[in-house]
Amino acid sequence: MAKMTLDKILQKQGFGTRKECQQRILNGDVSMAGTVVEDYELFMEPDGLEFTVNGEPWRYREHVYLLLNKPPDVECSRKPSHHPGVLSLLPRSFDLRDVQPVGRLDFDTTGMLLMSDDGAFIHAQSSPKRHVPKTYVATTHDPVTEELVAKLLKGVKLDREPAPLAAQACRQIDSHRIEIVLDQGKYHQVKRMLVAAGGHCDALSRTAIGRLQLDSFNLKEGQWCYLEPEHLALLAPVS
């Protein structure tokens, strides 16, 4: 990675405009290895660079890959219309570096949501051609039956779909909860499939994408974390 000036490094990390980052440095807000750095024209290798801004430690990341445990009543949009947007749950620096949701969860759906500022990653993860399995837990209005599970595994016909859609896997968790694994990613697919199978979805949560499990991160609703390369590898299609 080519060397950059310190002010540009901060700008790329979402600390403000170029001038705002220059002023932060001049104000003595930036330090490295415990030493304040006030020269914003200082050239350095950004990859893996560690520094602090106002006492908060940072590591330079060319792109960020995030996992958010999405709470209910939050919209997966940078321009929400009726509810707060997911960016309101993240530090402002992520908004400034144009972090976007990867795909969408309904405003009332909770669970695993990926976010990034890497356009190629977002496009690849959103492509229906990848067939990455996504796991959901649905709470049903009526008790789960063997017949309901069987219909979802066999396939149900949805409006405007040329062929029946079937769950890749499906199992009953308890009297009113069912786990469904899909790899198609159609609009409102879980809710629509449950209705087509004779059920109704009262609540829905995404618990896994590929082999990446939400439970392994111990995040409460509304909390987020960085995804490292070993996590991203778990998002590959299951062979």
Same domain, 25 and 48: yes
Tell me what pLDDT residue 92 has: 87
Same domain, 179 and 147: yes
Same domain, 124 and 220: yes
Q: Above 80 in pLDDT, residue 80?
A: no
For 137-195, the DSSP string reads: EEEESS---HHHHHHHHH-B--TT-SS-B--SEEEEEETTEEEEEESS--TTHHHHHHH
Lowest mean pLDDT among 111-125, 127-141, 142-156, 220-234: 127-141
Query: Which residues span the domain enclosing 156?
Result: 133-209
Q: Quick one: pLDDT band at residue 12, thresholds 50, 70, 90?
A: very high
Instruction: Give the pLDDT mean for 83-101.
Output: 91
Same domain, 205 and 216: no
Q: What percent of the chain has pLDDT over 70?
A: 99
| CATH number of 112's domain | 3.30.70.580
Look up 174 and say whether it is catalytic.
no
Give the tens place of pLDDT for each residue, 189-236. 999 999 999 999 999 999 999 999 999 999 999 999 999 999 999 998
Q: Quick one: pLDDT band at residue 239, thresholds 50, 70, 90?
A: low
**Percent of residues in the chain assigned helix, strand, coil, to nearest 5:** 25, 30, 45
Q: How far apart are CA 178 and CA 176, in angstroms?
A: 7
| CATH number of 150's domain | 3.30.70.1560
Same domain, 217 and 184: no
Same domain, 38 and 74: no
| Total tally of structural domains belonging to the chain | 3
Task: Give this prediction's pTM.
Answer: 0.89
Same domain, 118 and 172: no
Catalytic residue (choose from 39, 47, 73, 106) = 106
Tell me what pLDDT residue 238 has: 64
Give the tens place of pLDDT for each residue, 150-178. 999 999 999 888 899 999 999 999 999 99
Same domain, 76 and 123: yes
Instruction: Give the pLDDT mean for 60-66.
Output: 95
Same domain, 140 and 179: yes
